[in-house]
Amino acid sequence: MTTYRASMDDKVRPVSANRKRLRKQLPNYLFVIPHYLFFAVFLLYPIFRGIQISLYDWKIMLQDQKFIGLANYQALTKDMIFRETLGNTVYFTVLTVGINVVLALLVATALKQNFRGSHFLRVLFYAPAILSVSVLGIIGIRIWDTQLGIVNYFLTTLLGLPRISWLGNPSLVIPSLALTTVWWTFGFPMLVFLAGLQSIPEALYEAAKIDGAGRLQTFRHITIPLIMPTMLFVVVTQFISHMQVFAQPYIITAGGPGNASRTAVMYLYETAWKFFRFGYASAISVVLAGIMIIVTIFLFSVLRSRVEY
């Protein structure tokens, strides 16, 4: 080894160093290889395959698929149902993410205080998140049902108001689904906010208190700026998650009335598995992914600029 080294010129030496480093790091690479293998097979390959299929008039049993270039994407620009379902999805996402973030932050702020029962309430507020979406669907139907729903029960019995067709009215159905989803999902952002809030040094609040700052001022000038990294995480993950909404409208309204609660992913699913238009469905998924990537980048750029460490 020594003889070998002594015979090497200066240019070769770094290669030898690299090899040495590689040998040292090899076990680490071996540990991460299974992850990358699964990532490549079950995520990377399907992504590229999906993009490829979107360029074909894909028939499931054909050996030689017909290449049609961007025709699926061109058709998508004229597809009124896609526009409508995308609009429904964005409306649902804005409502759900908006309410989720505000509510979760407020509840987390309240639960940060150490009062008797605060731990119990944390569990209570998080509890719906452990329900499966099928159970949520059944609960959603029971909540919003025109005749027997809990909401209409309180409206009619306690307040003497007329029954409202929450799921039958095209303008109410998405807000109803969004509220059901908020009830189901806001436990997770609440916990994340709680963790974020607990990482803010108490000394800052004490200093603000000494300076005479009120609760609102403290919240605005200390909590909000310092919670921004957490806010960025919550908003981005919530946005990505709710843009893919499928099961709630699928179970509770089946997309109705008409197309009023049909979402983009529902349309994607139907296009592929009911209509067997796999190429077109792939194009929908690519466009949907593109929209989510662009909005995520936008959210990062907007919220990151406000992050204070």
Partner 1 sequence: MRKFVFSLVILLMLVLALGACGGPEAAPTAESAAPANEAAAPADTAVEPAEEVVQEEPTVDPNLPTPEPTPIVNAFGECDDPLILWHGLTGTDGAVFAVMLENYVNETPGACLSSEGIPWDIFFQKYPTAVAAGTPPDMVIFHAAEVNQMASEGLMMPLDDLIYNDGTLSKDDFNPVLMDAITYDGETMAVPFDNHGWLLWYNTQLLENAGLDPDNLPKNGDEFIEWAQMLTTDVNGLHPTDEGFDPDNVDVWAIDWTWPRYTIPTTMWQFGGGILNEDGTEVLLDSPESIAAIQYWHDLMYKYYVAPPAVPGKMWAGDLYANNRLVFMWEGTWTGGFMKDNPDVAALTKTAFINSLAPDGNQAVKFDSHIMSVPTGVDEAGAAQAKQLMAYLANNGEFWATSGQVPAKISVQQAPEVQAIESVAMAAKQFNEIGRTSVPHKAFIEIQTAYETAVGNALASADADVAAELQAGAEQIRAILARP
Q: Which residue has the tokens 């969004």?
A: 178
Question: In the complex, what is the shortest distance from the CB of residue 167 to partner 1, in angstroms, rounded to a whole number?
Answer: 4
Q: How far is the CB of 282 from partner 1 (least distance, A)?
A: 15
Closer residue to partner 1 in complex, CB, 148/210? 148
Question: At its nearest, how many Å lie between partner 1 and the CB of residue 135?
Answer: 12
Distance CA(287)–CA(293), nearest Å, equals: 10
Residues 6+ apart with CB under 8 A from 162: 155, 156
For partner 1, give the closer residue by CB, 191 or 251: 251
Q: What is the number of helices (H) and of strands (E) in the chain?
A: 16, 2
CA distance 52 to 262: 26
By beta-carbon proximity to partner 1, the closer residue of 155 and 299 is 155
Report residue 178 as tokens: 């969004």
Nearest by Cα to 246 from 93, 35, 130: 93
Question: Would you tell me which residues interact with partner 1 (CB under 8 A)?
Answer: 59-62, 80-81, 115-117, 121, 137-138, 141-142, 144-150, 153-154, 156-158, 162-163, 165-170, 173, 250-260, 262, 270, 273-277
Least distance CB 73 / partner 1 (angstroms): 16
Cα(101)–Cα(143) distance, integer angstroms = 23
- CB of 33 or CB of 135, closer to partner 1: 135
The CB-of-207 to partner 1 minimum distance in angstroms stands at 24
Beta carbon nearer to partner 1, 120 or 309 = 120
Least distance to partner 1 from the beta carbon of 41, Å?
17
194 or 266: CB nearest partner 1:
266
Query: What are the residues facing 66 on neighbouring strands?
Result: 57
**What's the burial of 62, exposed, middle or buried (CB within 10 Å: 0-12/13-18/19+)?**
exposed
Tell me the helix, strand and coil percentages in the chain, rounded to 5.
75, 0, 25
